[in-house]
Amino acid sequence: MTEKIVRAHTNIALIKYWGKRDEALILPASSSLSLTLDAFYTDTSVTFDNSLQSDTFYLNDRLQNKTATEKVSTFLNLFRKPAGISSPALIKSTNFVPTAAGLASSASGMAALAGAANLACHLQLTQRELSLYARRGSGSATRSIYGGFVEWQMGTCAADSYAVPIDDADWDIGMLVVVVNSRKKEMSSREGMKNTVETSPFYTGWLDSTANDLIEIKKAIRLQDFQKMGEITESNGMKMHGTMLGANPPLSYWEPDSVVAMQLVRQLRQEGISCYFTMDAGPNVKVLCRLTDSEKIKARFAKQFNPEQLIIAKPGEGLKVLTK
Ligand code: PMV
């Protein structure tokens, strides 16, 4: 029997999703917009097998513990139910992303799992439906169904909070990922955003301004105005981190080397190289740049970081099926 593997790429938000209006349904408090990257992805297969006692989950060839397996099982149940399937599943996933390093492995992981579950259950879901399903696994996964620039529309309810592709990013766009630390982060984005929504006095200001940032960045993308897009990206990311600093207890994912990377980006700009940074719920810094400038920028970073900490990514594609 041929094994069907689904590949999903990670995405980095230029307009961040930070905070939910419904925890259980993963409905965001605001819309967000991301760039899907080719360099980081997850390959997943799901096979139903009645000879298994229960769901069995391998990540990077390692059998996973009860907690990790339960998370996958709960997600799979969303697909098993409409398909009328009750069999246990063998789930095999390979992450080509440093797991939980703020490089959104949950985005590619849950999007690939949604795609593989769809195939195993023969549900023939559309991309939009897959985006709705992926959302239930992890908010950022909603966007990883599509390639290029993608908007996750907050919607009005669980049925219309999905992603839509905005632009295939087939222009001079790249991203240098600076892996400051690839260890698992101490506070998950789920906990971090909950704490921020509940306690940060800056949160309402964030919501007001991020809505406008989204409108403006969509205009910049339409016009292929790289500088404008970069300025909005950098400002939006910093505002998200500002809300965390205002939380109680205060939260920061930054490490000293994160600041070193941010300063280098500012320095490069002063020298006339157009590049902008953004950070997620982790210490790693992502530098949005022209693809044609990316090697030059990487070379400058290589003076302060090891080569294995520096990864150039191009815009990536949406969900796809591979056959082994
Ligand atoms: O999808 P989650 O629950 O891992 O949250 C992602 C949150 C950020 O990465 C910080 C922002 C985003 O929009 O991806």
The protein residue whose alpha carbon is closest to atom 4 in ligand 1 is 189
Query: Rounded distance, CA 175 to CA 159, Å?
Result: 32
Q: Which two tokens stand for residue 71?
A: 């998370």
Query: Rounded distance, CA 245 to CA 243, Å?
Result: 6
Instruction: State the pLDDT at residue 297.
Output: 98
Q: Using 50, 70 and 90 to split pLDDT, how confident is the model at 3?
A: confident
Q: Which two tokens stand for residue 165?
A: 């592709």
Question: Where is pLDDT greater, at 173 or 307?
Answer: 173
Total Cβ atoms within 10 A of residue 105:
23
Instruction: State the pLDDT at residue 30.
Output: 98
Q: Is 13 in the pocket of ligand 1 (CB under 6 A)?
A: yes
Total Cβ atoms within 10 A of residue 308:
8
Could you tell me the distance, in angstroms and rounded to a whole number, from the CA of residue 13 to the centre of ligand 1? 8
Q: Is 281 in the pocket of ligand 1 (CB under 6 A)?
A: yes
Sequence ranges of the domains in the chain: 4-170, 174-313
207-256 tens-digit pLDDT: 999 999 999 999 999 999 999 999 999 999 999 999 999 999 999 999 99
Q: Is 280 in the pocket of ligand 1 (CB under 6 A)?
A: yes
Taking residues 121-150, what's their average pLDDT? 98
- The number of CA neighbours under 13 Å toward the Cβ of 247 is 24
Homologous superfamily of 174-313: GHMP kinase, C-terminal domain (3.30.70.890)
Q: Name every residue whose Cβ is closer than 8 Å to that of residue 122 and which is 6 or more positions away in sequence.
A: 83
Q: Using 50, 70 and 90 to split pLDDT, how confident is the model at 101?
A: very low
Query: Rounded distance, CA 296 to CA 281, Å?
Result: 27
Instruction: State the pLDDT at residue 82.
Output: 96
ipTM value of the model? 0.99
Q: Is 104 in the pocket of ligand 1 (CB under 6 A)?
A: yes
**pLDDT over 80 at 106, yes or no:** yes
Query: Rounded distance, CA 41 to CA 145, Å?
Result: 12
264-276 tens-digit pLDDT: 999 999 999 999 9
Name the pTM for this structure.
0.96
The protein residue whose alpha carbon is closest to atom 8 in ligand 1 is 280
| Collapsed DSSP state (helix, strand, coil) of residue 145 | helix
Distance from CA of residue 104 to its chain's centroid? 4
Could you tell me the distance, in angstroms and rounded to a whole number, from the CA of residue 32 to the centre of ligand 1? 10
Q: Angle CA(60)–CA(11)–CA(236) in degrees, nearest 5? A: 135
Instruction: State the pLDDT at residue 100.
Output: 42
Query: Rounded distance, CA 242 to CA 123, Å?
Result: 42
Q: Using 50, 70 and 90 to split pLDDT, how confident is the model at 1?
A: low
Could you tell me the distance, in angstroms and rounded to a whole number, from the CA of residue 54 to the centre of ligand 1? 30
Residue type, 189: S
Averaged pLDDT score across all residues of the chain: 95
Q: Name every residue whose Cβ is closer than 8 Å to that of residue 133 and which is 6 or more positions away in sequence.
A: 78, 79, 114, 117, 118, 125
Q: Using 50, 70 and 90 to split pLDDT, how confident is the model at 183?
A: confident
Could you tell me the distance, in angstroms and rounded to a whole number, from the CA of residue 104 to the centre of ligand 1? 7
CATH 3.30.230.10 assigned to domain 4-170? The reply is yes
Instruction: State the pLDDT at residue 76.
Output: 98
Q: Name every residue whose Cβ is closer than 8 Å to that of residue 24 and which is 6 or more positions away in sequence.
A: none
**CA of 15, closest atom in ligand 1:** 13
Query: Rounded distance, CA 27 to CA 18, Å?
Result: 11
Residue type, 310: L
